[in-house]
């Protein structure tokens, strides 16, 4: 596997390099190296464009690998959730703040508490293990763009989300998440 050229970003080659990295042991470390290489310089941002609308765009979707281009609206937040597969986040524009959560024993069951945090800025990568629970916020007044790479079929995996008020666990709802992105776009458009 040859490193990507720093002058231009080729999405097909990037996907091929990520797929090849799946054969490494551990695959998430090799995929992270591919993503980190793509984030050096501005070629990735130039190729994908400066984000101007919140949303999730599939770049690659297969049973063993999902690559998403995620754009966060200014000051957008997403509730705690899990993936149940490893994930790698790479920021190509803006900033993404992650709060990491851990399960706690509670009489109501399924509750979590904050266990750490990590701010990611342009050019940063973060690897998440399959058991990680995190929430995401874009704390800045401009859009953030990130590649999210998952070691599996992100859309077929049953997952959980936690209510941001009660911190109680429930089934993950992709419809609810997509609605949050649309509401964030409406908020930005209306100037609220």
Does the 52-190 domain belong in CATH 3.30.420.40?
no
Q: Which two tokens mark 152?
A: 């599996």
Among 80, 83, 84, 86, residue whose Cα is nearest residue 169: 80
In the chain, % of residues over pLDDT 70: 95
Question: 139 burial class (0-12, 13-18, 19+ CB within 10 angstroms)?
Answer: middle
Residue range 101-158, pLDDT digits in tens? 999 987 766 799 999 999 999 999 999 999 999 999 999 999 999 999 999 999 999 9
**C-alpha distances in Å from residue 14, one per residue of 31, 70, 88, 144:** 10, 16, 14, 21
Residue range 73-113, pLDDT digits in tens? 999 999 999 999 999 999 999 999 999 999 998 776 679 99
How far, in Å, CA of 93 to CA of 139, rounded? 13
Q: Which two tokens mark 103?
A: 């399960």
Residue spans per domain, the chain? 52-190
- Per DSSP (E only), the strands in 105-184 are 111-121, 125-128, 133-137, 144-150, 160-162, 169-171
Maximal C-alpha separation, the chain:
55
């Amino acid at each position: 596997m040859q490193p990507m050229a720093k002058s231009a970003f080729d999405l097909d080659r990037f996907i091929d390099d990520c797929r090849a990295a799946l054969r490494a042991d551990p695959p998430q470390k090799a995929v992270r190296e591919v993503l980190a290489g793509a984030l050096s310089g501005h070629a990735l941002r130039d190729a994908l464009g400066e984000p101007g609308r919140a949303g999730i765009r599939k770049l690659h979707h297969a049973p063993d690998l999902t690559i998403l281009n995620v754009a966060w609206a200014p000051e957008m937040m997403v509730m705690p959730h899990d993936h149940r597969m490893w994930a790698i986040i790479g920021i190509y524009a803006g900033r993404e703040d992650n709060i990491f959560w851990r399960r706690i024993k509670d009489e109501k069951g399924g509750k979590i508490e904050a266990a750490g945090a990590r701010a990611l800025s342009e050019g940063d990568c973060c690897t998440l293990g399959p058991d990680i629970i995190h929430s995401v916020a874009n704390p800045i007044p401009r859009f953030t763009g990130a590649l999210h790479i998952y070691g599996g079929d992100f859309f077929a995996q049953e997952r959980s989300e936690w209510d941001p008020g009660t911190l109680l666990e429930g089934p993950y709802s992709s419809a609810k998440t997509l609605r949050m992105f649309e509401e964030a776009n409406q908020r930005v458009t209306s100037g609220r």
